[in-house]
């Protein structure tokens, strides 16, 4: 790996209460990038308001600080997990990506 290149690899688990404290007082928004990469039929399922509600109200099953400084949150679903990637920027928490995944990552 080249130096200076940060990956999405989780490097530290953060408790859901600790992450809630990081979110406190921040406005949650969804980046255009997050919505650009999903199919039209998925946009009917994953509306921006729903992502904001989940992130702002629900407790993630797991939360990790990634090597790139963003946070990955995992919310339990019927089958697998909803993974939400968030970047904290001053007074904002921006959802930059989300996807369905089968299992939680393992960190070393």
Distance, in Å, from the CA atom of 3 to the CA atom of 101, rounded to the nearest integer, reads 28
Instruction: Give the domain ranges of the chain.
Output: 10-101
CATH code of 10-101, in short, is 3.30.2310
Task: Give first-to-last CA distance, the chain, whole Å.
Answer: 17
Q: Name the burial class of residue 72, with classes exposed (0-12), middle (13-18) and buried (19+) by CB atoms within 10 angstroms of its CB.
A: buried
- Percent helix, strand and coil across the chain, each to the nearest 5: 25, 35, 40
**What tens-digit pLDDT sequence spans the chain (108 residues)?**
444 566 888 999 999 999 999 999 999 999 877 766 555 555 555 578 888 999 999 999 999 999 999 999 999 988 899 999 999 999 999 999 988 899 988 876
The pTM of this model reads: 0.83
Tokens of 61: 């099953």
Plot region of 8 (φ>0 → left; ψ -120 to 50 → alpha; else → beta): alpha
């Amino acid at each position: 790996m080249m130096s200076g290149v940060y990956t999405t690899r989780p490097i530290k688990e953060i408790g859901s209460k600790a992450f809630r404290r990081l979110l406190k007082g921040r406005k949650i928004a969804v980046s255009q990038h997050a919505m650009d990469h999903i199919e039209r039929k998925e946009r009917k399922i994953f509306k921006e308001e729903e992502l904001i509600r989940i992130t702002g109200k629900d407790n993630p099953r797991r939360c990790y600080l990634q090597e790139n400084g963003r946070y990955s949150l995992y919310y339990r679903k019927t089958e697998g997990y909803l993974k939400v990637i968030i970047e904290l920027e001053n007074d904002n928490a921006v959802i930059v990506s989300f996807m369905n995944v089968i299992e939680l990552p393992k960190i070393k």
